[in-house]
Structure 1
Amino acid sequence: MSRRVLVASRNAKKLNELRRILAEAGVEGLEIVGLDEVPPYEEAPETGATFAENALAKARDGAAATGLACVADDSGLSVDALNGMPGVLSARWSGGHGADAANNELLLAQLTDVPDERRGARFVSACALVADGREVVMIGEWPGRVAREPAGDGGFGYDPLFVPDGGAVSAAQLTPAEKDAASHRGRALRALLPALEELAVG
Structure 2
Amino acid sequence: MKIVLATGNKGKIEEFKKLLPNEEIIPFKNLIGEYEVIEDGDTFKANAVKKAKEIYERIADENIIVISDDSGISVPILNNEPGIYSARYAGENADDKKNNAKLISKLKEKNIEKTKAFYTACIAIVFKNEVYTVHGWMHGEVVAKEIGDNGFGYDPMFIPNGFDKTLGELPHEIKKEFSHRSRALSLAKKVLDVIL
The TM-score, its normalising length taken from structure 1, stands at 0.87
**Post-superposition CA distance 1:95-117 (Å, at most 9, x none):** 13342111111111111134456
**Post-superposition CA distance 1:137-174 (Å, at most 9, x none):** 11111101111311011111111111111111111112
Q: Which amino acid aligns with 2:18?
A: R
Is 1:139 matched with 2:135? yes
Is 1:60 matched with 2:53? yes
- Counterpart CA distance in 2 for 1:80 and 1:195 is 31
1:102 counterpart SS class: helix
Identity %: 32
Going from structure 1 to structure 2, the CA distance change for 1:56 and 1:130 (only over 3 Å counts) comes to: same
Q: Which amino acid aligns with 1:8?
A: A
Mapping 1:3-82, distance limit 5 Å:
3-23=1-21, 28=22, 30-40=23-33, 42-66=35-59, 67=61, 68-82=64-78
Is 1:91 matched with 2:84? no
- Counterpart CA distance in 2 for 1:101 and 1:41 is 24
1:72 counterpart SS class: strand
When the two chains are superposed, the root-mean-square deviation of aligned CA atoms in Å is: 1.8
Q: Which amino acid aligns with 1:82?
A: L
**Post-superposition CA distance 1:42-67 (Å, at most 9, x none):** 43200000000000000001111112
Greater relative contact order (Cα 8 A, min sep 6): structure 1 or 2? Answer: 1
- Counterpart CA distance in 2 for 1:169 and 1:32 is 31
What runs of 5+ residues in structure 2 fail to find an aligned partner? none
Stretch moving more, 58-67 or 93-102? 93-102
Q: Which amino acid aligns with 1:11?
A: N
Using the TM superposition, give the Cα deviation of residue 5 of structure 1 relative to its aligned residue in structure 2, in angstroms. 1.2
- Counterpart CA distance in 1 for 2:162 and 2:31 is 41
Q: Which amino acid aligns with 2:7?
A: S
Aligned length: 192
Going from structure 1 to structure 2, the CA distance change for 1:55 and 1:107 (only over 3 Å counts) comes to: same
In structure 2, the partner of 1:167 is 163
Choose from 95, 115, 123 the match for 1:127. 123
- Counterpart CA distance in 2 for 1:89 and 1:82 is 13
In structure 1, the partner of 2:146 is 150
1:157 counterpart SS class: coil
Q: Contact 1:72/1:128 (CA < 8 Å) preserved in 2?
A: yes
- Counterpart CA distance in 2 for 1:114 and 1:141 is 27
1:173 counterpart SS class: coil
In structure 2, the partner of 1:180 is 176
Stretch moving more, 71-80 or 5-14? 5-14
Stretch moving more, 66-75 or 32-41? 32-41
Is 1:103 matched with 2:99? yes
Q: Contact 1:17/1:186 (CA < 8 Å) preserved in 2?
A: no
